[in-house]
Amino acid sequence: MGTREKILAAAAEVMREQGYARATTKEIARAAGFSEAALYKHFADKTEIFLGVMTSQLPGLNAVLGDLTPGRHTVRGNLVRITSTAIDFYTESFPIGASLFSSRELLAAHRAAIHEHGAGPRTPVTRLANYLRAERDLRRLPSTSDPDAIATLLLGAAFQQGFLRHWDTDAGDPTTLARKLVKAVLP
């Protein structure tokens, strides 16, 4: 594991324990066993570390969305895999991101920084909707299907389940739940 990967692994752990707002670059560097200067050799800022944690240290929603190929596998199977992964992703990311909402100033600053990096929480919905549009064009979905609504409903439900999993330890299996959610939007 290289320096960058060690920093991201330490950042994920620190952010899970303390939330993004309280996780400092000094604490992340210490947990990784490096100086803060070493951290800044690999990352421009804390936002870049956060994005690295979201894309490489949490369940692979980004990878699953990137692996989608219209016309490959069944639409239902692809949606179950995406929704199940999204439930796991949001379950893991909730403790990290929840602290961003502790102050309006912090949220506004983070929102601006994320925007500067060309990222944001709408990205998975947009990518899933684009995939669904392509499947509709291939006639693997009814022409009356609304890709934006399906993507929003599935990922919104996955987000809610990620939140609920922190309240209810008996939340059930993500794949079973994903199948039920997909069945609701693709009867």
DSSP 12-49: HHHHHHHHHHH--HHHHHHHHTS-HHHHHHH-SSHHHH
36 and 67 share one domain: no
Distance, CA of 157 to CA of 174 (rounded, Å)? 11
Distance, CA of 43 to CA of 36 (rounded, Å)? 10
Note down the domain range covering 88. 58-185
pLDDT per residue as tens digits for the range 33-66: 999 999 999 999 898 998 888 888 776 888 899 9
Query: Does residue 21 belong to any structural domain of this protein?
Result: yes
State pTM to two decimals. 0.86
Query: Does residue 171 belong to any structural domain of this protein?
Result: yes
33 and 87 share one domain: no
149 and 178 share one domain: yes
Query: Does residue 50 belong to any structural domain of this protein?
Result: no
Query: Does residue 77 belong to any structural domain of this protein?
Result: yes
**Would you place residue 168 in the very low, low, confident or very high pLDDT band (cuts 50, 70, 90)?**
confident
110 and 168 share one domain: yes
Q: 31 with 49: CB under 8 angstroms?
A: no
Nearest in space to 185 (alpha carbons), one of 139, 136, 152? 152
33 and 1 share one domain: yes
Q: Residue 21's domain is classified under what CATH number? A: 1.10.10.60
Domains contained in the chain, number: 2
84 and 13 share one domain: no
Q: Which of 101-105, 116-120, 166-170 has the highest mean pLDDT?
A: 101-105
145 and 84 share one domain: yes
Q: 114 with 97: CB under 8 angstroms?
A: no
pLDDT per residue as tens digits for the range 115-154: 888 888 899 999 999 999 999 999 999 999 999 999 999 9
142 and 177 share one domain: yes
